[in-house]
Structure 1
Amino acid sequence: MPKETRDHLARLAKERGLSLGQLVDQLAAQQPTAAQIAERVATTRKVLRDRMGCTLTDEEFDHGPDVLANVYAMAAEKMHARRNTAA
């Protein structure tokens, strides 16, 4: 690792009251691996399907134009429907 990078990390660690090793551990823990990201995506999709009635396939999630916006719209629609039935 370049000396400048090491020195920068050492300053950050000192400012935070950590050892350099502790800082590196914290930084590494904040960066998920590809496998962890894939697991989170799968879990999120399962929750959307099981709890929100989302019917999108994995392919639609992966290749849809703006799937996240559509999911938010579906969630908002469902919440409005619940509020209207509760009132």
Structure 2
Amino acid sequence: MATTTIQVSREVRDHLATLAKERGMSLGQLIEALAAEQPTAAQRAERLAADRDVARRLVGVELSDEEFDEAPDVLGNIYKIAAEKARTARGTAA
């Protein structure tokens, strides 16, 4: 595998080195892992298209991309409800 050099400040280098050590990996392995966790715009678009195709098959109704874009954020709404319940529970437990 060919390697390359990336220039960063000493502070960033030291921070990354500490993270790598804590995780039991080399600095190069850490950078590779961090990069793998961040999909490109093209990869995100590819995943979105695949997810929409699965949803269309499961629902059994052909929905356009525009209809998906206009649909409510169900997962976001679930997170909001859960967060509100957690805040309420903390408020009554205090």
User: CA offset at residue 20 of structure 1?
Assistant: 0.1
How many pairs are equivalent? Answer: 68
User: CA offset at residue 2 of structure 1?
Assistant: 1.5
Which residue identity lines up with residue 35 of structure 2 in the other structure?
A: A
Which residue identity lines up with residue 59 of structure 1 in the other structure?
A: E
Q: Greater share of helix residues, 1 or 2?
A: 1
2-structure distance, mates of 1:69, 1:54:
18
> Unpaired runs of 5+ in structure 1?
71-87
Which residue identity lines up with residue 22 of structure 1 in the other structure?
A: Q
Q: Give the match for residue 57 of structure 2.
A: 50
Q: Give the match for residue 36 of structure 1.
A: 43
Which residue identity lines up with residue 69 of structure 1 in the other structure?
A: V
Q: TM-score, normalised by structure 2?
A: 0.65
2-structure distance, mates of 1:28, 1:39:
18
Q: Give the match for residue 2 of structure 1.
A: 9
User: CA offset at residue 55 of structure 1?
Assistant: 3.4
> Unpaired runs of 5+ in structure 2?
1-7, 76-94
Point out 4+ residue stretches in structure 1 off by more than 6 angstroms. none
